[in-house]
Amino acid sequence: MSDTKASNQMWGGRFASGPAAIMEAINASIGFDRKLYAQDIRGSIAHAGMLAQTGIISTADQEKIVHGLNTILSEIEQGRFEFSTRLEDIHMNVEARLAELIGPAAGRLHTARSRNDQVATDFRLWVKEELQRTEGALVNLIEAFLDRAEEHASTLMPGFTHLQTAQPVTFGHHCMAYVEMFSRDLSRVRDAIERMDESPLGAAALAGTGFPIDRAMTASALGFREPTRNSIDTVSDRDFALEFLSLASICGTHLSRLAEEIVIWSTPQFGFAKLSDAFATGSSIMPQKKNPDAAELVRAKTGRLNGNLIGLLTVMKGLPLAYSKDMQEDKEAVFDAAETLDLMIAAMTGMVRDMAIDKAAMKKAAASGHSTATDLADWLVREAGLPFREAHHVTGRAVALADERRTSLDRLSLDDLKAINGAITEQVFGVLSVAASVKSRTSFGGTAPAEVRRQIRYWKKRLKRDASRAKTR
């Protein structure tokens, strides 16, 4: 593409000389918004089609325009397109090249359109596609967890509060906690798609247009449900981008907590999980080490997601309606968040499928720290009729005795237990083991293996049902 130093071809009428170099540098977005080339060309093809259908331009011009745009598409895809900073952004780069290719007909494409509705259209299309990618990635992650939960529905592990052993649970139950979290992320993605599925094209600069355009036609050609309903809002709104960034931050937070758990589980001190060489790295100096770098990086990358959200919120917060150039700053945050989130979900899905679970280590830890103390208290309430507060007190004395004897609750003798409270019988040993404790927690959503399996069945069905609903949009 020729790069003359003369006045800008798009508004050359008013400006006598080209922009100062520094102006060009701060103004140009082509360095990053070239990512929108496919959406820009798609939007223009839909627009040209509508202009011809409504008689605003001739069919002959439309055909030239579409042919030219398709040529540009392949030039870009084959790396033969020369992007120019002087032409500022993707919209003007494409339009200028179109003029070179087809001559004066190119000038008719921008009828009844402005870069303001054009960029809003391109960006919505891009974000919508990214949301659909995220949707697929989250489904894969959830399926990985469902598989691990099924495999480990009755694998015992310690459940923690304050990272201190609290009560025994199953690893399957723990996995299903993540299924719940990522399913909410998935529903946030689907909600976001639903809300943003409106076409900005035809809002023009901000006020709409006097040309007899058909906005429903371009909306449907671009796969949007319907056109937006207020031209001012259309060109000044970026909440669809903010919504993507916020759901990315929330999902990132979930991924980061999981990453932190994998880091903890894979320490020799815990030894619950081991990542294969595919997801761990060695140390260049300490030959014995195997580090969970991928999990650590997922944990760290959450910071970028949060930064991108705060960045765009700050850009938008003081802007009067309608368009201001500030809004050009919306793209890099979203592009970076998208790339980061895709990578994080993929890496985490890989790790969830990859990690080997050490059942013996988990079971041993599950029994430590008198994790069945609550079961003893519950037994005293149920079988001996004690008020819970008193049962709590009796159990405390049993725990203290076990500590004194350096043993566990289920290894205390019946006589010892009877000495603390006369109502205790042999039956109590039926609840003091970790497996019995877990098995007894059959309340809805509880950790009993039968209940965990029920929740797995529920989510498998629900995942299918929601997917087929999503397909009809």
Query: Active-site residue numbers?
Result: 162, 283
Interaction of residue 29 with ligand ARG, rule CB under 6 A: yes
Query: How far is it, in rounded angstroms, from Cα 294 to Cα 275?
Result: 10
Query: How far is it, in rounded angstroms, from Cα 273 to Cα 361?
Result: 9
Q: How far is the CB of 243 from ligand ARG (least distance, A)?
A: 18
**Among positions 165, 328, 408, 421, the unique one binding ligand ARG when judged by CB under 6 A:** 328
Q: How far is the CB of 209 from ligand ARG (least distance, A)?
A: 15
**With CB under 6 A as the contact rule, which of the stretches 111-119, 178-186, 362-370, 409-417 interacts with ligand ARG?**
111-119
Q: How far is the CB of 315 from ligand ARG (least distance, A)?
A: 11
Interaction of residue 8 with ligand ARG, rule CB under 6 A: no
Interaction of residue 116 with ligand ARG, rule CB under 6 A: yes
Interaction of residue 325 with ligand ARG, rule CB under 6 A: yes
Interaction of residue 115 with ligand ARG, rule CB under 6 A: yes
**With CB under 6 A as the contact rule, which of the stretches 114-122, 339-347, 421-429, 442-450 interacts with ligand ARG?**
114-122
**Among positions 69, 112, 298, 327, the unique one binding ligand ARG when judged by CB under 6 A:** 327
Interaction of residue 204 with ligand ARG, rule CB under 6 A: no
Q: How far is the CB of 330 from ligand ARG (least distance, A)?
A: 7
**236 exposed, middle or buried (CB, 10 Å; 0-12, 13-18, 19+)?**
buried
Q: How far is the CB of 123 from ligand ARG (least distance, A)?
A: 8
**With CB under 6 A as the contact rule, which of the stretches 4-12, 95-103, 255-263, 323-331 interacts with ligand ARG?**
323-331
Interaction of residue 141 with ligand ARG, rule CB under 6 A: no
Query: How far is it, in rounded angstroms, from Cα 278 to Cα 388?
Result: 50
Count residues contacting ligand ARG (CB under 6 A)? 10
The nearer residue to ligand ARG, 30 or 216, going by C-beta atoms, is 30
Q: How far is the CB of 122 from ligand ARG (least distance, A)?
A: 9
**123 exposed, middle or buried (CB, 10 Å; 0-12, 13-18, 19+)?**
buried
**With CB under 6 A as the contact rule, which of the stretches 124-132, 137-145, 320-328, 452-460 interacts with ligand ARG?**
320-328
Interaction of residue 394 with ligand ARG, rule CB under 6 A: no
The nearer residue to ligand ARG, 84 or 291, going by C-beta atoms, is 84
The nearer residue to ligand ARG, 279 or 323, going by C-beta atoms, is 323
Interaction of residue 341 with ligand ARG, rule CB under 6 A: no
Taking residue 230's Cβ as centre, other Cβ atoms within 10 Å add up to 11
The nearer residue to ligand ARG, 64 or 124, going by C-beta atoms, is 124
312 touches 330 (CB < 8 A): yes
**Among positions 56, 73, 119, 262, the unique one binding ligand ARG when judged by CB under 6 A:** 119
The nearer residue to ligand ARG, 155 or 236, going by C-beta atoms, is 236
Q: How far is the CB of 97 from ligand ARG (least distance, A)?
A: 16
Q: How far is the CB of 328 from ligand ARG (least distance, A)?
A: 4
Interaction of residue 39 with ligand ARG, rule CB under 6 A: no
Query: How far is it, in rounded angstroms, from Cα 459 to Cα 456?
Result: 5
For residue 245, give every residue at least 6 positions away whose Cβ sits within 8 Å of its Cβ, in sequence order, or none.
305, 308, 309, 312, 333, 334, 337
Site for ligand ARG in 59-98 (CB under 6 A): 89
The nearer residue to ligand ARG, 32 or 429, going by C-beta atoms, is 32
Interaction of residue 323 with ligand ARG, rule CB under 6 A: yes
Q: Which residues here bind ligand ARG, judged by CB under 6 A?
A: 29, 33, 89, 115-116, 119, 323, 325, 327-328
